Structure 1
Amino acid sequence: MKNIPFCDYKKLYLNHRENYLKIIDEVASNGGFIMQQAKKDFEKELSEYTGSNHAIGVGNCTDGLEIIWQSIGLRPGDEIICSSHTFIATASSIVMAGGVPKPVDIGDDNLISTEAISDAINSRTVGIMPTQLNGRICDMDTIINLANKHKLFVVEDAAQALGARYKGKHAGTFGIAGAISFYPAKVMGCFGDGGALVTNNYDIFNRSYQLHDQGRDVNGDLKSWGRNSRLDNIQAAILSYQLKKYPGVIQRRREIASYYHKRLSQLNELKLPPQPLEDADNFDIFQNYEFMATNRDELKKHLEANGIKTLIQWNGKGIHQWESLGFTVKLPKVEDFFKKCIMIPIWDYLTDEEITYIADKIISFYRK
């Protein structure tokens, strides 16, 4: 029996240990720990990679989202429409910036439903916050059209989607701004918390820059109130190294996803994510390989018994199901999804033998 963790955090470091030690030593030897050249270099590289005009390294993606909404300037009662199929930080960023999150249902792709967005727009709505989930981008054509029609801001939660594209355009660059996570479990993660925001809007960049560095502008002059949310230089240097090899990481994940689709699409008991195709509108990076499964809980036990760790994300709840936060709405598609969803390992370091083993064990559960 094999032992396949859902995420082997040790390998994320040990597979490139010598390079990481060299990076840490170089930054530490220079004494450039905070707001120095490594951060500036990574921000430039990130903006070039995503095709955005500006990038700011921040403490984490949640801070990035909060800072964007604060830069926009939410007022009490302002409503932001978001998907309920997302991490709670999506909604909390709205609350912390002074707004009201309005979670809505999902579509057949398990991302935010554009019909639900349209139905939720009212006189208090000021923005839409699509989550580019599991490395796949939403129907941004329709979302941008709705936003333009109703004069709404679009801020992307692109925490899980660095490198994902829709019709050639990168996640985080469709609306006024977007935020990305570098949490260790992300496709490109650092060794602790880290994040970034990207934007093509100079006013948002200028205000966000001040907010992330105690109110100081790019010249170091104090202009406004702010906070301390700065990506540190060691993490930035590690991310610069990772960005250089990132296309290969994405390609391996897409190869694994293709293999899973080929093997598992024979099972009517599963609803799989779309397979990666080179000529599709969506270029998915497969942050996660998540699907809906009949007898999900029994499947999870079966895989566990065979040494395969799986994950049911976010405690198996959409954000609207946390009644302690004041939500009362019922969203049937999200609720059905969380009764059936499961994630299996898809890390780029998995061997062909391991992914074959995972697929074999899933098939054997349904075809005993």
Structure 2
Amino acid sequence: MMKIPFNTLDRQFFMYQDEYEKKALDVLRSGWYILGPEVEKFEKEFADYIGVKYALGIDNGLNALVLAFRALGIKENDEVLVQGNTFIASVMGITMNGATPIFIEPDEFDNINVDLLEAKITEKTKAICVVHLYGQTSNMQKIMDIAEKYNLYVVEDCAQSHGSLFNGKMTGSFGDIACFSFYPGKNLGCFGDGGAVTTNNKELYTKMKTLRNYGSNKKYHNDEVGYNARLDELQAGLLRVKLFHLHELTKEREKIAKRYLVEIKNPKIELPKVRQGATSVWHLFVIKTDERDRFQKYLEENKVGTVIHYPIPPHLSKAYEYLGYQKGDFPITEIYAEKVLSLPLYNGMTEEEQSYVIEVINRYE
């Protein structure tokens, strides 16, 4: 019996080991470790990759969100529309600025249901937070049309969608600001914590650049109360190496996902669907099943690792008890939380490993 981990990061490292190790040594020997040439070069290369004017390295994805909403002036008594079935960081970025999240149910593609947005817009609504969940782009055409109609900001949470497209345009290039995480498990993951924001707005870029460095543009001249939210030189350098190879890494994930979509044939398993006009970079391959816990136990017994993304929706978490939601308030979000299961999909996954996962799933009764 094979043992298949849910994810393993070392294989991707070994693919480009010499490049990573050379870059790490170059940075260590440079004597410059915070906000130096590697960060500047990565920011330019990442902005070019996304197709925007500006990118800014941040220390992690949560702080990218916090700074984004802060830069937009989102504050107490403001409301931000956000999908209900996201990772809780998407919501924390809103509430850490004092604003109120207004949850929107997901659609059949696991992303925000754009048909429900307008009914939730009030005079307090200031922004839409769009999460490109699991690697698939949301319906950005309708979202941008609604945002323009109601004069709302759009913040893209691209933590899981590095390189995914909608109508040929990349996530991170639609909204006023987009936020990225480079947590090691992400498609463009670094070797520790890391993140970024992207924008075409010079004023917002300058504001976030000030905020990430103690509210300062010039040393010891603090214009406002800011954060220490800087991407370090070592992570920026390593991200530059991975960014160079991201296209081939994405193609590999797409190939594995395509096998799953074609070869997994079990009536008890609902496979993910991709929206017309959208692409997925398959950060996660998330199936749904009515007997999720039993199925997960079966896979575990057959040495196939899985993870639930995410078992507790933000509105039912202890952190957001104060919002006053009850079980049943967002039934689709809650049903998804009870049905979803992420299958193993990682760079360096062998064909033999893929075949074993498919065979085990197809045997499930």
State the TM-score bracket (shorter-chain normalisation).
over 0.9
| Aligned counterparts of 2:360 and 2:216: Cα–Cα separation in 1 | 55
Per the alignment, in what secondary structure is the counterpart of residue 131 of structure 2? coil
Aligned AA (1:117): L
Q: For 2:131 and 2:220, how far apart are their aligned partners in 1?
A: 33
Equivalent residues of 2:12, 2:347 under 8 A apart: no
Pairwise CA distance, 1:16: 3.5
Q: Deviations over 1:173-232 (max 9, x none)?
A: 111011011001101111111000000111110100000112223899644332111110
Q: Report how far residue 12 of structure 1 moved.
A: 4.1
Q: Partner residue of 1:46?
A: 46
Match of 1:319 among 314, 339, 363: 314
Whether 1:9 and 2:9 are equivalent positions in the alignment is yes
DSSP 3-state at the match of 1:75: coil
| Worse overlay, 301-310 or 214-223 | 214-223
Q: Does 1:167 align with 2:163?
A: no
Shift, 1:263, TM fit = 0.8
SS for the counterpart of 1:130 is strand
Any conservation in 2 of the 1:47–1:53 contact (CA below 8 Å)? yes
Task: Give me the whole-angstrom Cα distance separating, in 1, the residues matched to 2:3 and 2:50.
Answer: 36
Alignment of 1:254-269 (within 5 A): 254-264=254-264, 266-269=265-268
Match of residue 105 from structure 1 = 105
CA RMSD of aligned residues (A): 1.7
The one-letter code of the counterpart of 2:272 is P
Secondary structure, counterpart of 1:317 in structure 2: coil
**Which residue pairs with 2:62 in the alignment?**
62
2:293 corresponding residue in structure 1: 297
Q: Which residue of structure 2 lines up, in the alignment, with residue 360 of structure 1?
A: 359
CA distance in 2, matches of 1:75, 1:135: 29
2:137 and 2:164 in contact (8 A); partners too: yes
> Is the partner of 1:310 in helix, strand or coil?
coil
| SS of the residue 2:55 aligns to | strand
Shift of 1:318: 1.4
1:64-108: CA deviation from partner (whole Å, max 9, x where unpaired):
111011111123110001011111111111111221111121112
Whole-angstrom distance in 2 between the partners of 1:55 and 1:219 = 21
Q: Which residue number corresponds to residue 270 of structure 2?
A: 271
Residue 288 (str. 1) matches residue 287 (str. 2): no
Query: Greater relative contact order: 1 or 2 (C-alpha under 8 angstroms, separation 6 or more)?
Result: 2
- Rounded to whole Å, the distance in 2 between the matches of 1:237 and 1:218 is 24
8 Å CA contact retained: 1:313, 1:342: yes
| Number of residue pairs the alignment of both structures matches | 361
The corresponding residue for 2:119 is 119
1:284 Cα deviation after fit: 1.1
Structure 2, unmatched stretches of 5+, are none
Please state whether the residue corresponding to 1:254 is helix, strand or coil.
helix
In the alignment, which residue of structure 2 is the partner of 1:93?
93
2-side partners of 1:169 and 1:209: how far apart? 25
1:337 maps to: 336
Counterpart CA distance in 2 for 1:275 and 1:141 is 16
Task: Please list every run of 5 or more consecutive structure 1 residues that lacks an aligned counterpart in the other structure.
Answer: none
Q: CA deviation at 1:323?
A: 4.9
Contact 2:11 2:347 in 1 (8 A): no
Alpha-carbon distance in 1 for matches of 2:278, 2:220: 40
Following superposition, the deviation at residue 298 of structure 1 comes to 1.4
Instruction: Answer with 211-220 or 35-44: which moved more.
Output: 211-220
Counterpart check, 1:306 vs 2:302: yes
Q: 1:310 to 1:213 in 2, by over 3 A?
A: same
TM-score (norm 1): 0.94
Q: Distance in 2 between matches of 1:324 and 1:191?
A: 28
> Is the partner of 2:127 in helix, strand or coil?
strand
TM-score, structure 2 as length reference: 0.95
* Paired residue secondary structure (1:313): coil
In the superposition, relative to structure 1, how do residues 257 and 146 fare at CA in structure 2: closer, same or farther (>3 Å)? same
Alpha-carbon contact 2:94-2:101 (below 8 Å) kept: yes
